[in-house]
Amino acid sequence: MVLDDKTLTQKGIQKLVDKFQNEETWLNIGEGILKIIIILVIANILIRIGRAAIHNIFKIRNLSPLRTNARREETLSKLLDNILSYVVYFIAFMTILSVFNIDVKALLAGAGIVGLAVGFGAQSLVKDVITGFFIIFEDQFSVGDHVRIGEFEGDVEAIGLRTTKIKSGTGEVHIIPNGSIIEVTNFSINNSVAVVDISIAYDANIEEAQKVIEQLLDEMPGRYEELVKRPDLLGIQNFGPQEVVLRIVAETAPMQHFGVARKIRRDVKQQLDKHGIEIPYPRLVMFSKEPGKGV
């Protein structure tokens, strides 16, 4: 019995050696490798052509008078790029399997049954995909928008069907599952408002200060393109311990209010200094007590 097993093993090894020594075997291997390379090259070419077509379609839409929002178009463009890559590579993978004489139809049928079973345990994944679809479909936010999602705030870098990437102002990238997005604050849809409080000393002429500031505000729309319209001086906002507070509000393009507020403060300071109007500063009053006398 031992001799039979040994004989069978030797025959199997000899058969394998004979097979690899056969010229036809190496021709089949070379043909299979060549087919795989051709499939991958064709897949890469199709992806490049598809992406170029997608981008050109959106460029043509931008030239038409009926073009949609640029934010939405950029988001859809990146999403279509990802979907195209997934579809082409999946088809390429199935084609490569057929090169190895693997029954793709049986594999797909088995994958369908397995996918159905896995689907019951992948509810969170399904929730992420459905939520991502509605985020894009309803245009809740797009790539490039400044948003706040839960405790995270920053610029949207990418929106997928499963996750959303947000880059904060300090450089961190937060990857958020779409299914966990409950509330979103989008700062980039409507115009922003810059609120600037200016302090004037009590002994300064408030009317003159307001007049000087109004003259400055008349010149600002021509200086800063971020402004939607001329800033408004609302008047006295508050009485402080050492100052009268005047408030200026300026409507700006989305998310431009921080920079505009800094520019307004600088220009107002220079304007007040130019006209000799004093901005309050802390003052310290000291009392000295002489020996033998009260305070």
Total residues belonging to the chain: 295
CA distances from 262 to 88, 117, 244, 259 (A): 50, 58, 20, 5
Are 36 and 111 in a shared domain?
A: yes
10 Å Cβ neighbour count for 226? 18
Q: Is residue 279 one of the residues assigned to a domain?
A: no
Q: Is residue 74 one of the residues assigned to a domain?
A: yes
**Tokens at 41, concatenated:** 């090259």
User: What integer pLDDT is reported at residue 109 of this predicted model?
Assistant: 63
* pTM of the predicted protein model: 0.54
Q: Is residue 294 one of the residues assigned to a domain?
A: no
Is residue 65 very low, low, confident or very high in pLDDT (cuts 50, 70, 90)?
very low
Could you tell me which residue, 248 or 65, shows the higher pLDDT?
Answer: 248
Are 26 and 89 in a shared domain?
A: yes
Average pLDDT over the chain reads 78
| Confidence check: pLDDT of 88 > 90 | no
Q: How far apart are CA 244 and CA 212, in angstroms?
A: 16
User: What integer pLDDT is reported at residue 261 of this predicted model?
Assistant: 92
Are 197 and 269 in a shared domain?
A: yes
Amino acid at 16: L
pLDDT tens, residue by residue, 104-132: 666 666 555 555 555 555 567 777 777 87
User: What integer pLDDT is reported at residue 66 of this predicted model?
Assistant: 42
User: What integer pLDDT is reported at residue 276 of this predicted model?
Assistant: 86
Could you tell me which residue, 176 or 125, shows the higher pLDDT?
Answer: 176
H-only helix segments in 64-122: 70-99, 104-121
pLDDT tens, residue by residue, 128-173: 777 877 787 777 888 888 899 988 989 988 887 788 889 988 888 9
User: What integer pLDDT is reported at residue 1 of this predicted model?
Assistant: 43
**CATH code of residue 34:** 1.10.287.1260
- 52-61, 92-101, 105-114: which has the minimum mean pLDDT? 105-114
| Confidence check: pLDDT of 224 > 90 | no
Among 121, 138, 173, which residue terminates a domain? 121
- 67-81, 149-163, 205-219, 251-265: which has the minimum mean pLDDT? 67-81
Q: Is residue 3 one of the residues assigned to a domain?
A: no
Q: Which of 227, 238, 225 is nearest to 280 (CA)?
A: 238
pLDDT tens, residue by residue, 275-293: 888 777 776 666 666 665 5
Give CA torsion, residues 47, 51, 56, 59, to 10 deg. Answer: 180
| Confidence check: pLDDT of 74 > 90 | no
Are 81 and 17 in a shared domain?
A: yes
Phi and psi angles of residue 203, each rounded to the nearest 5 degrees, phi first: -85, 0
| Confidence check: pLDDT of 28 > 60 | yes
Domain that holds residue 28: 8-121
- Return the HEC string of 109-146: HHHHHHHHHHHHHCHHHHHHHHHHHHHHHCCCCCCCCE
- Radius of gyration from C-alpha coordinates of the chain: 35
Q: How far apart are CA 76 and CA 257, in angstroms?
A: 28
Contact 173, 211 (CB under 8 A): no
| Confidence check: pLDDT of 61 > 80 | no
Are 54 and 139 in a shared domain?
A: no
Number of domains the chain contains:
3
